Every structure is written in C-alpha cells, then in structure tokens.
Amino acid sequence: MNPSKRREIFERLQAANPHPTTELEYSTPFELLVAVMLSAQATDLSVNAATRKLYPIANTPEAILELGEEKLVQYIQRIGLYKTKAKHVIETCRILIEQHKGEVPKTREALEALPGVGRKTANVILNTAFGEPAIAVDTHIFRLANRINLAPGKTVLEVEKKLLKVIPKEFLHDAHHWLILHGRYVCQARKPKCAECLIYDLCEYKSKTS
C-alpha cells in the first residue's frame, strides 16, 4: 500500500470520528489500567458492567487492596479468567503503592513489570492515559492491518512496528482507536461489512479475492 493511500485512509477515519477513544469507561489512569487488565479475552461491555459497580466502592490502589481479593472477585466474576485477574489486580495495587506512590507509572518498562500487564496493555495506557503515540495491536488491528495490506506482518510486534513506521505522524495518537473500532464494527472477522466501509475503495483486500 502506498503512502498516499494510507494517508487518505486516516483522513477519512478522522473525518468520521475526530475524537476517538476507548470504549472502556474510566476517569483516572488507575481506573483505565484495571479496566484494561480485566478486558483480556473479555468484552468492553462486560468490563464496564463490572467496573460501574466496583469503582464507586473502590477505585484507587489503596481501596482495592483494602477490599481484598475475595471481595474483588465478587465484582468481576462474570468476566473471563476472573480469578487470575483478581490476583493480578491485587498484586498490581500493592506494587503501585510500594514502588510508585500509588500512581500508574508512565514508562513501558515499569508498566510491563506489573502482574498481568503485557505490551498490549502497556500500549493502551501509554496512548490513552498519557497521550503517547503507541499502538496496542489486538486481534482487530492485527486482522485489519493484514487484510487491507496496511501493515502486513506475521506477528503482533511486527505489525505494531510497521504501523508506527507507515502511519503519518499527525494520525499516530488516534490511530489505535480508529483501527480497533473499524475492525470491531466494520471490518469484522467472518463477514466484513464492505458495503458500509468508508475506506472500501482504498482497501486492497477485495482485489485479492475478486
């Protein structure tokens, strides 16, 4: 895919959604961190349902640590892998208090040192909470980048690095959200909604299947 086509893709995505953001509900970096940790192999809808009940009771590392793992489980038990996630959240709260004065760290190294926080989660926090031009490549972005030939790659990391290289700088901050939303609602895995796609004429997927 040539640079002019890539630019046009993001110009259209920007025009359609000038201020994209995550569908996870949060009001602080810590709330976002917990929500993203809970969202692994779960829907944003199920996470939001849980945090709407949890956060009015406990939405700081101190409060969740005081709540304890057993009671935390009661709030998140409808989310997949809830037992493991509860352990990770509790241990993360302890580390934030002991090593970061209760604040979410702003470096990739410190974020990835937290239990249950991998590169993808760190990228979400760096981008959404702290405004860094990071791209968290989930299944939607990985599929989309390969399918339309935007930044094809065999691994998540390869796609991430290619996207950071080929996306025009002025679109980097919001590209993460545009691509996730487009993959989630339009360029879906089994039946992409090509008739509803605003970048259909720029997509290189259809030429491979025609």
What is the mean predicted confidence (pLDDT) over 44-56?
A: 96
What is the mean predicted confidence (pLDDT) over 46-56?
A: 97
120 as an active site residue: the answer is yes
Q: How far is CA 59 from CA 63, 75, 116, 124, 203, in A?
A: 6, 12, 18, 19, 42
pLDDT at 207: 53
Q: Are 199 and 9 in contact (CB under 8 A)?
A: yes
What is the mean predicted confidence (pLDDT) over 127-156?
A: 95
Residue 209 reports pLDDT greater than 80:
no
- Residue 41 pLDDT level (bands cut at 50, 70, 90): confident
Every domain of the chain and the residues it spans: 3-20+134-209, 29-129
CB atoms within 10 A of CB 45: 10
What is the mean predicted confidence (pLDDT) over 120-133?
A: 95
pLDDT digits (tens, 9 = 90+) for 16-27: 999 999 999 999
Q: How far is CA 18 from the centre of its chain?
A: 18
What does CATH list as the number for 3-20+134-209? Answer: 1.10.1670.10
Q: Structure pTM?
A: 0.90
165 as an active site residue: the answer is no
Kindly name the residue from 120, 161, 162, 206 that is annotated as catalytic: 120
pLDDT at 73: 96
pLDDT at 70: 95
Rg from Cα positions in the chain: 18
pLDDT at 210: 44
pLDDT digits (tens, 9 = 90+) for 66-115: 999 999 999 999 998 999 999 999 999 999 999 999 999 999 999 999 99
CA-closest candidate to residue 148, choices 6, 12, 4, 3: 6
Gap between the Cα atoms of 51 and 38, Å rounded: 9
pLDDT at 80: 87
Residue 134 reports pLDDT greater than 80:
yes
Q: Which CATH class is domain 29-129?
A: mainly alpha
